[in-house]
Amino acid sequence: MTSTAPWWGTSLFTLATGLVTGLIAAFAALAPKRTERRLERRRLSREHKETAYPEITRATYALATAPLWSTTADEHKALLQELVAATHAAAFFAPTPVIAAIHGLLEAANGLSDRRDDIRATSRPGHQGTIDLARAGEHAEALDQIRAALQTFVDASRADLEIPGGYPILITPA
C-alpha cells in the first residue's frame, strides 16, 4: 500500500504534536503558580482591610465624640484630618461599595466639622460645656448623619470581609 501523504507530512505532524504538548505542559505548570499568586494577593489585601477598616471606624468615632467646647477648633481639624488620612489607605484596595460608603462618611464628617465650627463661632458654651439649646438640634442632626454614614461604611466593610451579622453604631455626644 502506498502512502498519499507528502514526505514531509509525518515530520511536520510530529513537530506540531511536540509543540502543542510542550505548550500544554508549560500552561499546566504555570496555572498553580498564577492561582497561588492570586490567593496571596487576596490574603494581603484582606490583611490591609482588616487594619484600615477598623482604623476608619475608630477615627470617625473619635471625631464624632470629641467634646465641642473642651477641645479647640484645631483639635477638631486634626481629628478630621486623621479620618481623611485613614480613608486614603483604603482607597487602594477597597471595592466600589466600600469606597462609596467612605465618600458618604467623609461628606458627613465634613458636615459635622463645619457645623461645629459654625456653632463655636456663633454661640458660647452652656453649663458644663453643653451646646446652646438653639443650636443643639443642628449638632444632633450632624451626629445622626455621621452615625448613619458610619453604619453604612461598617456594613459595607463587613460584607467585603465576609463577616456575618451586623454591628450597631453607638455614637453619643461627649
Identify which has the larger pLDDT, 9 or 131.
Answer: 131
Any domain includes 97: yes
Q: What is the arithmetic mean of pLDDT over 157-167?
A: 85
Any domain includes 120: yes
Any domain includes 26: no
Total domain count for the chain? 1
pLDDT band for 157, please (50, 70, 90 cuts). Answer: very high
Any domain includes 166: no
Q: Which domain holds residue 119?
A: 45-160
Any domain includes 165: no
C-alpha span between 169 and 147 (Å, rounded)? 7
Determine the pLDDT at residue 113: 92
Any domain includes 29: no
- Domain with residue 138: its CATH number is 1.20.120.230
Any domain includes 68: yes
For the chain, give the secondary structure using H, E and C. Answer: CCCCCCCCHHHHHHHHHHHHHHHHHHHHHHHHHHHHHHHHHHHHHHHHHHHHHHHHHHHHHHHHHCCCCCCCHHHHHHHHHHHHHHHHHHCCCCCHHHHHHHHHHHHHHHHHHHHHHHHHHHCCCCHHHCCCHHHHHHHHHHHHHHHHHHHHHHHHHHHHCCCCCCCCCCCCCC
Note the pLDDT tens digit of each residue in 32-79.
666 666 555 555 577 888 889 999 999 999 999 888 877 777 888 999
